[in-house]
């Protein structure tokens, strides 16, 4: 069974940092694009960041550019999201996602596997 399990969420003050991890199991995603989305209460799901299978083709949503950094370790089948200078507007459930197509470069428009989400709350 394929699973994406996020961890690292929590409560942090504005200006602080958190590092999210997404551990994949059941299959390797070393040949697949992976990324992060988030959803705040009452809002639509929002694209956060994406990274190609190779570690290239990195893209970010406009609201997190310059503050968040996505990375991956294919040997560990794990995806990361370093979040710095957090703002109350970053409060949301953060979801890890993966594209099922091999050699894919992005999940922004094609995410086929999803994690259960991890809550990030930023207090002012």
Of 19, 54, 20, 48, the residue nearest 35 (C-alpha): 48
C-beta atoms surrounding 1 within 10 Å: 5
Averaged pLDDT, 45-69: 96
pLDDT for residue 102 is more than 90: no
Asked if residues 5 and 22 have their Cβ atoms less than 8 Å apart, the reply is yes
Structural contact between residues 39 and 104, judged by C-beta atoms closer than 8 angstroms: no
Give the pairing of strands 118-123 and 92-98.
antiparallel
- The answer to whether 97 touches 23, Cβ cutoff 8 Å, is no
| Mean pLDDT, all residues of the chain | 96
**To the nearest whole percent, how much of the chain has pLDDT over 90?**
89
pLDDT at 1 over 90: no
């Amino acid at each position: 069974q394929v699973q994406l399990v996020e961890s690292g969420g929590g409560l942090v003050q504005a200006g602080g940092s958190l590092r999210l991890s997404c551990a994949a199991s059941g299959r390797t995603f070393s040949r697949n694009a992976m990324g992060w989305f988030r959803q705040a209460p009452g809002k639509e799901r929002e694209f956060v960041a994406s990274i190609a299978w190779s570690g290239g083709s990195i893209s970010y949503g406009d609201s997190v550019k310059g503050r968040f950094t996505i990375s991956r370790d294919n040997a560990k089948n794990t995806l990361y999201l370093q979040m710095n200078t957090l703002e109350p507007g970053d409060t949301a459930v953060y979801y890890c996602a993966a594209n099922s197509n091999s050699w894919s470069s992005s999940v922004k428009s094609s995410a086929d596997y999803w994690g259960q989400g991890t809550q990030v709350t930023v207090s002012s």
